[in-house]
């Protein structure tokens, strides 16, 4: 009797102070077979319910056979060799290139196509290949059931250039494709030739096992994603739209963020949208002359004041209920074993306490700048120019400011913001502001120099004409999301210990806490800060997911993309192949998409 009274009193005490103590309650609620309403309250408080792992039913034996194959040393080395061969072919693209057929730099893709032909013979025997603009690739694996919408898998063939000044800093030459038995080194190994080759390896493996799909599978590979995709994916998107029509595909999966260990738990973050893009050019013109008689500010001086004000006026990050960052935080509180207890309690209480929300915001954003950047329009001053001689006043100076536009904002709102921040500075400096003159009739009218003399002019414009609105948001209450998230969870798993020994690796780099089980993967919808080729596929399906099923057990999570020593771990690469095999098999069995 005393035990019952004590337990009742304890529960009432905890309930009274629920916001602060919910972290401690959450650890025992799932094990209690008590009132269903209490369990539902806990589930709703966590806001991070996970889909059950999805494995094929009718093709279960095929899945298990391929899964066993993937964990062999022979397959790991074979697949690593396939990626290594692709990395050895430099397919660099630059921001400014002439049309295909005129600019010889595009010819770098021809050797890659020859390589793919010999590396994946079954694909080139059994799939239909169409080339767009010479180097864009679209493979069609025709299914037996035309009533099923096709699955679309995409990647890109191109890589960012290697700065010649950095070559000596690479552990292995950037296009050596060196495989040391554990990692594949070189430009493109992590962005995005691992995506390209893992998709092709998954299809080739299924063909080797005589799999014939009911649902058509389309593979689309652009060749200038790193230069906005105008030559490649844009042409492929038009082609697919002409052939299949709008909303013709069940789902699209393209490159995205990799799996990342966060507070002791692996987090998979399929992006359901991506931020917009805008390059703002701020150009100042001012009278020249001899530098021995300078004005208070030269064109460069004006520009400096404008830059300083613009950076200071950059949008701030806030953790808001309902945002992707807030969902991520709730998943941390529900599933991350090493999250500090005070932070866990604040995240739990944030659903009703503004003070807890602000504390959680401060702690999370200080620890994870990428999470902080995800919810705001970012400002990055990346290119600057001005002046031609040390004793001549510069007649012009300029800067390009790169923005990734928040999904709840727009390019138009960004332009409004730029004018609101820079107009008072221009007035204070006595310079004329000309805001986006190419927009035609807008809110921003040019103020002509008439009765008042001005010291110069500052013009705001779209630097390259590549403005992009934020992407549509893909729904997560859909059969497509269930298949994707379920496949991610089914494809997750540590390699067999025997494989680790064969590859001369420790059994696990992640050491669980004492008494702690190996953490399961957490799937949380996310936003992509960068931009992908999916911008050209929006009309094909509302179910677009950007995701990289890559997990680095002993290295940088993102494989050091776009920098020195880009690398891909062989085990993580095989995990990508496993994911695509599972996705194609699961999508093939689904009749709800």
Q: What are the catalytic residues?
A: 158, 225
Determine phi and psi for 229, rounding to 5 degrees.
75, 15
R_g of the chain computed on alpha carbons: 27
Q: Which of 588, 590, 569 is nearest to 198 (CA)?
A: 569
Helix axes 570-589, 60-70, angle to 10 degrees: 170
Distance between CA atoms of residues 446 and 436, nearest Å: 9
Distance between CA atoms of residues 290 and 121, nearest Å: 68
Kindly write down the DSSP assignment for every residue of 575-587, as one continuous string.
HHHHHHHHHHHHH
Distance between CA atoms of residues 189 and 564, nearest Å: 12
Exposure string of 1-10, with b = 16+ CB inside 10 Å and e = fewer, is eeeeeeeeee
Distances in Å between the Cα of 255 and the Cα atoms of 190, 225, 356, 398 are: 10, 11, 35, 34
End-to-end alpha-carbon separation of the chain, Å?
55
Six token digits for residue 305: 């004041």
Helix (H) or strand (E) holding 527: strand 526-528
**Across the beta sheet with 522-523, what order do the strands follow?**
260-262, 265-268, 522-523
Distance between CA atoms of residues 171 and 477, nearest Å: 45
CB neighbour list of residue 186: distance below 8 Å, 6 or more residues apart: 84, 87, 88, 172, 173, 174, 175, 176, 177, 178, 566, 567
Distance between CA atoms of residues 566 and 578, nearest Å: 22
Altogether, the residues listed in the chain come to a count of: 593
Distance between CA atoms of residues 434 and 419, nearest Å: 9
Distance between CA atoms of residues 370 and 340, nearest Å: 19
Which residue's structure tokens are 């859909």? 478
Distance between CA atoms of residues 271 and 535, nearest Å: 13
Q: Rounded to the nearest 5 degrees, what angle is found at the Cα of 582, between the Cα atoms of 44 and 523?
A: 25
Contact 462, 278 (CB under 8 A): yes
């Amino acid at each position: 009797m005393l035990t019952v009274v004590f337990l009742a009193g304890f529960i009432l005490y905890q309930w009274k102070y629920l916001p602060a103590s919910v972290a401690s309650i959450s650890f025992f609620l799932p094990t209690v077979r008590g009132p269903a309403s209490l369990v539902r309250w806990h589930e709703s408080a966590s806001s991070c319910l996970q889909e059950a792992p999805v494995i094929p039913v009718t093709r279960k034996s095929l899945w298990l056979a391929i899964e066993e194959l993937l964990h062999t040393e022979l397959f790991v080395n074979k697949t690593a060799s396939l990626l290594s061969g692709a990395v050895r072919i430099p397919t660099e693209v630059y921001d400014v290139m002439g049309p295909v057929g005129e600019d010889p730099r595009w010819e770098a893709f021809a050797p890659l196509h020859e390589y793919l032909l010999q590396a994946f013979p079954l694909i080139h025997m059994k799939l239909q290949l169409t080339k767009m603009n010479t180097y864009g690739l679209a493979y069609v694996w025709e299914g037996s059931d035309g009533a099923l919408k096709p699955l679309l898998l995409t990647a890109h063939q191109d890589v960012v250039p290697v700065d010649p000044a950095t070559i000596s800093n690479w552990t292995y030459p950037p296009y050596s494709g060196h495989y040391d038995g554990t990692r594949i080194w070189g430009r493109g190994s992590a962005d995005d030739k691992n995506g390209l080759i893992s998709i092709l390896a998954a299809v080739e493996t299924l063909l080797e096992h005589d799999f014939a799909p009911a649902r058509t599978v389309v593979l689309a590979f652009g060749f200038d994603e790193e230069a906005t995709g105008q030559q490649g994916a844009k042409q492929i998107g038009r082609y697919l739209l002409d052939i299949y029509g709008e909303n013709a595909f069940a789902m699209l999966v393209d490159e995205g963020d990799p799996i990342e260990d966060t507070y002791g738990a692996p987090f998979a973050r399929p992006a359901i949208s991506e931020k917009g893009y805008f390059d703002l050019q701020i150009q100042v013109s001012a009278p020249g002359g001899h530098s021995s008689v300078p004005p208070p500010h030269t064109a460069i001086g004006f520009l400096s004041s404008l830059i300083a004000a613009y950076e200071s006026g950059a949008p701030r990050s806030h953790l808001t209920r309902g945002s992707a960052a807030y969902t991520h935080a709730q998943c941390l509180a529900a599933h991350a074993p090493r999250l500090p207890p005070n932070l866990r309690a604040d995240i739990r209480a944030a659903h009703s306490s503004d003070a807890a929300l602000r504390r959680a915001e401060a702690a999370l954003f200080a620890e994870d700048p990428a999470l902080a950047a995800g919810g705001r329009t970012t400002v990055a001053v990346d290119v600057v120019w001005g002046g031609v001689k040390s004793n001549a006043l510069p007649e012009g100076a300029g800067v390009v400011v790169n923005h990734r536009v928040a999904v709840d904002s727009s390019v138009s709102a960004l332009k409004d913001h730029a004018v609101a921040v820079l107009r008072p500075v221009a007035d204070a400096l006595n310079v004329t502001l000309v805001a986006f003159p190419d927009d035609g009739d807008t809110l921003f009218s040019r103020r002509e120099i008439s009765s008042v003399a001005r010291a110069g002019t500052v013009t705001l414009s779209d630097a390259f004409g590549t403005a992009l609105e934020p992407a549509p948001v893909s729904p997560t209450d859909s059969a497509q999301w269930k298949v994707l998230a379920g496949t991610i969870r089914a494809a997750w798993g540590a390699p067999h210990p025997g494989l680790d020994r064969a590859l001369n690796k420790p059994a696990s780099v992640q050491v669980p806490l004492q008494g702690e089980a190996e953490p399961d993967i957490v799937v949380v919808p996310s936003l992509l800060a960068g931009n992908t080729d999916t911008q050209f596929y929006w009309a094909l399906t509302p179910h677009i997911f950007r995701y990289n099923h890559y997990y680095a057990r002993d290295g940088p999570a993102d494989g050091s993309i776009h920098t020195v020593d880009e690398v891909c771990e062989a085990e993580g690469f095989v995990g990508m192949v496993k994911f695509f095999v599972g996705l194609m098999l699961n999508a093939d069995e689904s009749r709800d998409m």
